Structure 1
Amino acid sequence: MNFFYCRTVFQVYLASELIKRKNLENVFFLYIPNGSLSNKEKTILDGLIGNYEVMSSDNSLFRLILQALFLRKLKEKIKAHNSNIYFASIDDLYLRTIISKISFNLIYTFDDGTVNYLSKSMYYLDKKYSKSISCKYYLLGNRIKTLDEIKKKITKHYSVTKFKNIIENVEYLPLFEPTLNQNNSKRVRVFLCPFYDELYLNPVVAREKLEKLLLKDDIVFCHPRDKNAVRNSKNDLLITERYISNLLSDGYAVDLFGTANSTQFIFAFDSNVNNVVLDLGNVTEFFKDAFEEQVLILKNIEIKK
């Protein structure tokens, strides 16, 4: 059995590609949203995965009960199969609890965006959890305390880029191959909106700054967790990379505006993509160091182009 554990729609997208390209069968798929499952998340799961389970609750006590019950269910399933586990969220305490309680044959990981490539991100620097949260997962069975402990257990990591990653044993699985350099006058501007409430000290001002930059024909993709869509925005959360790839295949040059996010990293080395880093205001202290690092990396790549 191949057990997949996903927390975001981007992870679902990469997981679906991994399942398809590696011809994985007998897949048991768990999705844990941030709170209740949204209609958009359900649409994505139905379209890309089909058969899956969801652990969803806004109530912390009920969520704890669900986690305990699922651990028991998963343990029974694992007993009957030779099982591997695939996941992206190496900082996730419930994921660590699963690995602490259940023995898997092989442990695989895959990308979760820029956090995989940045030495100052939460996948490289151990986060301090509150005593209540740490105690909760300890009682559930978690015995993994650090990022290094879980990294040592990983058999192989699958990455969509060739940047340095969380472990050395990495297999490159590009979503798209870079397009050949084309002298085409057709240009299009694509804006990738950040999750303002999470990233910025003043998300309202940051949102207003971006909206003032938009022109009539610009294409806009909102962050999957952003409930306030801006004008011109596309509704399908998971067509971003595919949409950009189709534009490039159709002969367009793309000016890609964003906050040095994972989509910009995916197209960083495509000569027909001009990555423009947006300055929308001061970011929160939690993301500041990693954000500055990813901006520097992306700008250096653009200079070398």
Structure 2
Amino acid sequence: MNLILCCTPLQVLIARKIIELHPNEQFFGVMFGGVWDKKRTLYASKLAEACSDSMNIDTGKDLKGFDSFKLMRQLKNKITHKGFDKVFLANLNSLWLQTYLSHVSFKELYTFDDGSDNIFPHPNLLREPDTFKYKLIKAFIGDRYSVHKLFKKIKKHYTVYPNYKNIVSNVEPISLWDNKVDGEIDGEVSFFIGQPLLNTKEENISLIKKLKDQIPFDYYFPHPAEDYRVDGVNYVESELIFEDYVFKHLANKKVIIYTFFSSVAFNLLSHPNVEIRFIRTSIPRWQFCYDSFPKLGLTIYKEI
């Protein structure tokens, strides 16, 4: 049996495609999460549907510090399957995933994308503190792995970004949609993909109002962290992540996506019915995200 670990709805979407590539193998799926809203619950069920067996791990919504570490320490008591042939995961630097793997055995390790972080320089996925305090925490929770140890074990990486250099050299491309997109295009619809880039609710609302005045989008697809709404903006309220929303509801539409630098854009960049229009914000702390655009062959549609 194989083990596949997911932390986000997008990872579930990718995981299901990986499972399809191994039709004669059984999978045990684990969904991690601190906030179990309708969206996470839906995608946990989607993971379960694709696996022979599965479980959900609640990482604690409001737990911080020692309370969080105590919960991780108890993780070993929840693990029911101990031995696996292959392990698939995206987040090498997750203490939760490292701790889980510390209490099971496996023969081979495979990874897959955790959004566009895999193709940007100096990704967070490979960052891990190297302090005495951090090492004490890992010892307390029973984590015997590190990013470096896991990275050396990777046999292959599955990517949805085949045209870009990945942080893992040995890659196998996978597609989130069927290779053949059938049907004639019937109309056009545009969306702005929400990203709360500023520190306060008021600042983010002001930014959305500015976008509304300068960008001609039809609908706004909010980020899960956006628990506010702006009058006059047409919001899409859906339990699906945007990629799934496009596949299920907009199969025969031309879809124009306006975005700052959301992973959604990169995930759909090669879709034949999708056009991506990147918007550059003047917010200083996010300028580094745009520095890699020329190397990635990306252009800015508009600056605000």
In structure 2, the residue matched to 1:55 is: 58
Q: Distance in 2 between matches of 1:244 and 1:142?
A: 39
Tell me the equivalent position of 1:99: 101
1:203 offset after TM fit, Å?
3.5
Cα shift readout 1:233-253 (whole Å, capped 9, x = no counterpart):
222243522333467741x33
Preserved CA contact (<8 Å) 1:2 1:85: yes
Where does the alignment leave 5 or more consecutive residues of structure 2 unmatched? Answer: none
Q: Which runs of 5+ in 1 are unaligned?
A: none
Q: State how far apart, in whole Å, the 2-side matches of 1:108 and 1:205 are.
A: 43
- Partner in structure 2 of residue 69 of structure 1: 74
- CA distance in structure 2 between the partners assigned to 1:19 and 1:242 by the alignment: 17
CA distance in 1, matches of 2:184, 2:10: 32
**How do 1:171-182 residues align onto structure 2 when only pairs under 5 Å count?**
171-176=172-177
Counterpart code for 1:82: F
Rounded to whole Å, the distance in 1 between the matches of 2:237 and 2:157 is: 31
Displacement of 1:157 after TM fit?
A: 1.1
Q: Secondary structure at the match of 1:95?
A: helix
Paired amino acid for 1:84: K
Cα distance in 2, alignment partners of residues 274 and 199 from structure 1: 30
More strand by share: 2
Asked if 1 retains the 8 angstrom alpha-carbon contact of 2:221 and 2:242, the reply is yes
- Identity, in percent, stands at 23
Amino acid at match of 1:105: K
CA distance in 2, matches of 1:91, 1:195: 24
Aligned-pair CA distance for 1:168: 1.6
Per the normalisation by structure 1, the TM-score is 0.78
> 1:39 corresponds to which letter in structure 2?
K
Distance in structure 1 (CA, Å) of the matches to 2:281 and 2:208:
8
Distance 1:25 1:77 in 2: 16
Once residues 141 and 300 of structure 2 are traced to their aligned partners in structure 1, the CA distance between those partners, rounded to angstroms, is: 44
Instruction: Give the superposition deviation at 1:276.
Output: 0.9
Cα distance change on mapping 1:273 and 1:238 into 2, 3 Å:
same
User: Partner of 1:267 in structure 2?
Assistant: 268
Return closer, same or farther for 1:245/1:36 CA change in 2, 3 Å cut-off.
closer
Say whether the 8 Å CA contact 1:190–1:255 is kept in structure 2: yes
Bigger mean CA deviation after superposition, 155-164 or 52-61: 52-61
Does residue 116 (structure 1) correspond to residue 118 (structure 2)? The answer is yes
- What's the secondary structure of 1:17's corresponding residue? helix
Task: Say which SS state the counterpart of residue 228 (structure 1) adopts.
Answer: coil
Matched, 1:233 2:235: yes
Counterparts of 1:137-176 in structure 2, within 5 Å, are 137-145=138-146, 147-162=147-162, 163-176=164-177
Q: Which amino acid aligns with 2:84?
A: N
2:90–2:111 CA contact under 8 A, matched in 1: yes
**Conserved in 1, the CA contact under 8 Å of 2:9 and 2:241?**
no
**Shift, 1:121, TM fit:** 2.2
C-alpha distance 225-17 of structure 1, shift in aligned 2 (>3 A): farther
User: Per-residue CA shift, 1:56-93, capped at 9, x if unaligned?
Assistant: 3222344333322222443x621xx4343221112212
The structural deviation recorded for 1:189 is 1.1
Secondary structure at the aligned position of 2:18 is classed as helix
